[in-house]
Amino acid sequence: MGLEVLPPVASAEEAVDVVARTAPDLVLMDIHLKGRMDGIEAAGAIRQRHDVPVIYLTAHSDAATLTRAKVTEPFGYLLKPFDERDLRVAIELALHKHEMDKRLRESEEQLHQARKLEAVGRLAGGVAHDVNNMMTVVLGYAELLLREVGDSDPRRQVLLEMRRAANRSADIARQLLAVGRRQVLHPVVVDVNRLIGDSRPMVTEVLGQGIELRCELDPEGAMVRIDPGQFDRVLINLGLNASEAMPDGGRLTIASRMVTLGKDDMPEAPEVAAGDYVLLSVADTGRGMDADTTSCVFEPFFTTKPPGAGAGLGLATVYGIVKQSGGHLFVDSALGQGTTFRIYLPRVKPDVEAGPSHVSATERGRETILLVEDDHAVRSMIQQVLRHQGYTVLEAVDGAEAMLLCEDAGQRIDLLLTDSIMPGMSGRELAERLIAVRPALSVLVMSGYSEDRVLEQGLPANAAFIQKPFAGSELVSRVRTVLDK
């Protein structure tokens, strides 16, 4: 039949030992064997310890034997005498059933993982709104005060520490959103080699001394669609992971190459569709991981660090960003042999999209902005930042008040800056009503919620978006860009 067959054994104990040492694809087991165990006991031990299918080849067909055999969940039961055709059919069906069972288990595990990520995403979406609103206030006021405090003023260091802590808190909220794949992405078409080059200084910094960074890039390069800021986060987190795996130094290699996958090229990952990809590999020469640790590395909050040394979100964040960007992520590792992360990003054709031009945060404003925000602290901070920049700011706590302010036809309004989700009237509904009577009105929507909640309400046509929390300089730059368009 063209199958490779191991030397046969005559005892149940030998069978269990051979399976443990050789991991065959299939076991053909008689029930009556020499030794302390019979074939059914041996099959039970094999099925319990190893994922190997068993077919019984036996002359036993009494009810008691069949009842015992069923407990081991055999993949076939052939009664002697049988012919070659019966054996061939039994073997092919057993191997096929085993492969289908394996895929089903993998699908169930992926579903279980997806449900966990969904739960984390819902948690993140709820927490992020309040955290992002509070951090927007802290960052905004800290920046305003830093403008007034000289370099020699002892209060400056306090403000810098305040800003650093606020940024760290905001970053944790962003990580939770990335883990749950609910962050707002701003993807652009860009050469992956350029992205790696831009990220290299930051990766070098997190690696520290004693670790060599090598980049082995495909000379032709390839275009992918991804958020450059999130790509930086991916490489930085992988760099941090590598540095912790190489406390005594080592080498980290970032490589890129173009690959074309057929439908059967990755049977272990059926979710990867056939097509053209950029394969980005990040390989370290560190301590490596055992199989149990490797299977858990992308789990949210999983960490091998002692309590207080890490939140366990770094690699889960990487996984979330890659998946939300339409890519696939895999890890290969073994103790003492280092770790390699493989990222498959779909290749795309070059685009003529132009990235946003840099706008100076020092440029003075001259326009009038209608600010609509139901959170008093956030609204107060934003109006101070904008007025400090020279803009005229009209404030409203909700859509109804904003509509009243716009009833005066003589009131100039150049930009609507509105929260996305508010009681009574959403930012989208407000924008659509105002654009109907003021067609030239520019719109900038802000939100502390996750992308899913924002998209539930939807963005007005041609509206720009800014994610809370944001620093005052970021807001000013974004406002200026929108107005200049």
Tens of pLDDT, residue by residue over 441-477, are 999 998 876 554 555 556 677 788 887 878 788 899 8
pLDDT on residue 199:
87
Whether 251 is in a domain gets the answer yes
Asked whether 425 and 398 are in contact (CB, 8 A), the reply is yes
* CA–CA dist 475, 385 (Å, integer): 9
Q: Are residues 200 and 300 in the same domain?
A: yes
Whether 97 is in a domain gets the answer no
Whether 354 is in a domain gets the answer no
Average pLDDT over residues 250-254: 94
As a whole number, the mean pLDDT across the chain is 83
pLDDT band at 352 (very low <50, low <70, confident <90, very high): very low
Whether 90 is in a domain gets the answer no
Query: Does 314 have pLDDT greater than 80?
Result: no
Q: Which one of 179, 209, 225 terminates a domain?
A: 179
Q: Are residues 45 and 112 in the same domain?
A: no
Query: Does 428 have pLDDT greater than 70?
Result: yes
Residue type present at position 45: A
Higher local confidence (pLDDT), 233 or 243: 243
* Percent of the chain scoring above 70 in pLDDT: 85
DSSP letter for 358, please.
P
Whether 113 is in a domain gets the answer yes
Average pLDDT over residues 348-372: 68
- Spatial neighbors of 164 by CB under 8 A, at least 6 apart, are none
DSSP letter for 436, please.
H
Q: Are residues 247 and 333 in the same domain?
A: yes
Q: Are residues 153 and 294 in the same domain?
A: no
Q: What is the pLDDT of residues 374-383, one digit of tens each?
A: 988 889 989 9
Asked whether 402 and 372 are in contact (CB, 8 A), the reply is yes
pLDDT band at 178 (very low <50, low <70, confident <90, very high): low
pLDDT on residue 330:
92
Residue type present at position 88: R
Structure tokens at 158: 């306090």
Average pLDDT over residues 284-305: 81
Structure tokens at 187: 């993807």
Whether 213 is in a domain gets the answer yes
Q: Are residues 152 and 279 in the same domain?
A: no
Closest CA to 478 of 452, 453, 442, 435: 442
Higher local confidence (pLDDT), 178 or 211: 211
Between the alpha carbon of residue 107 and those of residues 110, 112, 161, 182, the distances in Å are 5, 9, 46, 22
pLDDT on residue 341:
94
Average pLDDT over residues 13-29: 92
Q: Are residues 321 and 197 in the same domain?
A: yes
Structural domain boundaries enclosing 174: 104-179
pLDDT on residue 320:
81
Structure tokens at 42: 């041996």
pTM (two decimals): 0.51
Whether 361 is in a domain gets the answer no
Any idea how long the chain is? 485
Question: What is the tally of structural domains in the chain?
Answer: 4
* CA–CA dist 219, 401 (Å, integer): 58
Query: Does 114 have pLDDT greater than 90?
Result: no
Between the alpha carbon of residue 445 and those of residues 64, 125, 297, 440, the distances in Å are 72, 18, 36, 16
DSSP letter for 460, please.
P
Residue with the two structure tokens 């859509």: 399
Q: Are residues 155 and 205 in the same domain?
A: no
* CA–CA dist 286, 248 (Å, integer): 9
Q: What is the DSSP string of 390-459?
A: T-EEEEESSHHHHHHHTT-TT----EEEEESS-SSS-HHHHHHHHHHH-TT-EEEEEESS-HHHHHHH-P
Higher local confidence (pLDDT), 138 or 301: 138
Residue with the two structure tokens 């006021």: 141
Q: Which one of 179, 201, 229 terminates a domain?
A: 179
Q: Are residues 373 and 342 in the same domain?
A: no
Average pLDDT over residues 400-428: 89
Average pLDDT over residues 306-318: 65
Higher local confidence (pLDDT), 292 or 182: 292
The Cβ of residue 250 has, within 10 Å, a number of other Cβ atoms equal to: 18
Q: Which of 236-245, 247-256, 380-389, 466-475 has the lowest mean pLDDT?
A: 466-475
Query: Does 311 have pLDDT greater than 60?
Result: no
Average pLDDT over residues 185-209: 85
pLDDT on residue 309:
52
Q: Are residues 333 and 392 in the same domain?
A: no
User: Could you tell me the CATH number of the domain that includes residue 446?
Assistant: 3.40.50.2300
Q: Are residues 199 and 171 in the same domain?
A: no
The 3-state DSSP class for residue 55 equals: strand
Q: Which one of 179, 198, 225 terminates a domain?
A: 179
Q: Which of 49-53, 103-107, 239-243, 351-355 has the lowest mean pLDDT?
A: 351-355
Query: Does 171 have pLDDT greater than 80?
Result: no
Residue with the two structure tokens 């165990």: 37
pLDDT band at 111 (very low <50, low <70, confident <90, very high): confident
Phi, psi of 186 (to 5 degrees): -125, 75
Closest CA to 413 of 389, 394, 388: 394
